Amino acid sequence: MQAPTRPIVDIRGLTKTYDNGPTALEPLDLRIDKGEILALLGPNGAGKTTLISMLCGLVSPSGGTATVSGHDIIADYRAARHLIGLVPQEISLEPFTRVWDSVSFTRGLFGLKRDDAKLDEILRRLSLWDKRRARINELSGGMKRRVLIAKALAHDPKVLFLDEPTAGVDVELRRDMWEIVADLKKSGVTIILTTHYIEEAEAIADRIGVINKGRLLLVEEKHALISRMGRKELRIALRAPCAAVPETLAEYDLERSADGMTLTYHYDTRRESTGITRLLQDIASAGLLLADLETRQSSLEEIFVDLVRDGQKEDAA
């Protein structure tokens, strides 16, 4: 039997209430394994930035503990911080500094010796090598984002936090960012990113945590989440249009398309019986002829919208 591995980030009961503010984060437990990509998904104001700011030592927790590679983020702050890289949401760069100097400076902040070979490697990895002598204010928005990542990697962190890495960027740059994240994972870096783009979590994460109103609603492996929470739909294409859904099929709650050529049946994959066999028999008995059948899994987007809406219903109750 394999010995259980210790999580690289171990969060226990971490909570934050800002002065004169709401509880931004209710006590949260989360363990993150080395080398995984975890996406924290949630709407604006959910508490995502608060969580990663606490882990990076920028916001002090109101309670609970967290460790990075066994180092407590408060008692052993320096050691924990050394292992962490943070790519902030806002572009915060010195406009007249040259790319090389900016990244080199960050390395120095961590008390590390100058290492030109290391810097070369980081700049090349982020396609910034050609721009190493450019001043920050000469760079496009996309290049500036790359510089932020290069700075976060300058001290060779083991855990990288990316706060909304693609908020407000165009589609092409978003895809570039996803590739960069995938490359970093390959090199063994553990990545925790926050996003409110479901598509982003779906595209790159190994595990997804959903946060809403300061509460971590769930954390689950992406594919398991999609198949566990997922509903499916069966689209039934007919050979001839039906003017209305026959009375005998009322119990199935079928959706009829505007042209009457398709009926859609929604079912829950978690139920013991999907009801499909009986539905198809009943359709035949109603005299409708089938042209084709197609099933579709509900997407993460639909799951997420349901989760957040259920949370709101609970609050209202």
> Whole-number minimum distance, CB 61 to ligand ADP, in Å?
13
Closest alpha carbon to 201 in 221, 217, 229, 180: 221
Among 1, 2, 4, 21, binds ligand ADP (CB under 6 A): 21
> Whole-number minimum distance, CB 152 to ligand ADP, in Å?
18
- Decide: is 42 part of the binding site for ligand ADP (CB under 6 A): yes
For ligand ADP, the closer of residues 88 and 252 by Cβ is 88
Q: Which stretch binds ligand ADP (CB under 6 A): 44-52, 135-143, 215-223, 270-278?
A: 44-52
Alpha carbon distance 50, 60 (integer Å): 9
Q: Which stretch binds ligand ADP (CB under 6 A): 45-53, 139-147, 182-190, 251-259?
A: 45-53
- Decide: is 46 part of the binding site for ligand ADP (CB under 6 A): yes
> Whole-number minimum distance, CB 45 to ligand ADP, in Å?
4
Among 18, 75, 239, 284, binds ligand ADP (CB under 6 A): 18
Alpha carbon distance 56, 136 (integer Å): 25
Q: Which long-range contacts (CB under 8 A, 24 or more apart) does 222-227 make?
A: 222/300, 225/300, 225/303, 226/297, 226/299, 226/300, 226/303, 227/269, 227/297
> Whole-number minimum distance, CB 89 to ligand ADP, in Å?
8
Among 41, 48, 157, 174, binds ligand ADP (CB under 6 A): 48
Alpha carbon distance 268, 257 (integer Å): 21
What order of strands is seen across the sheet that includes strand 9-17?
23-32, 9-17, 63-68, 71-72
Among 50, 102, 104, 212, binds ligand ADP (CB under 6 A): 50
Q: Which stretch binds ligand ADP (CB under 6 A): 17-25, 117-125, 147-155, 216-224?
A: 17-25
> Whole-number minimum distance, CB 44 to ligand ADP, in Å?
4
Alpha carbon distance 64, 28 (integer Å): 8
For ligand ADP, the closer of residues 44 and 273 by Cβ is 44
The tokens 């199935």 sit on which residue?
Answer: 252
> Whole-number minimum distance, CB 12 to ligand ADP, in Å?
19
Beta strands in the chain (DSSP E): 9-17, 23-32, 37-41, 63-68, 71-72, 84-87, 159-163, 190-195, 207-212, 215-221, 231-238, 255-256, 262-268, 290-297
- Decide: is 45 part of the binding site for ligand ADP (CB under 6 A): yes
Closest alpha carbon to 232 in 270, 260, 202: 270
Residues making contact with ligand ADP (CB under 6 A): 18, 21-22, 24, 42, 44-50
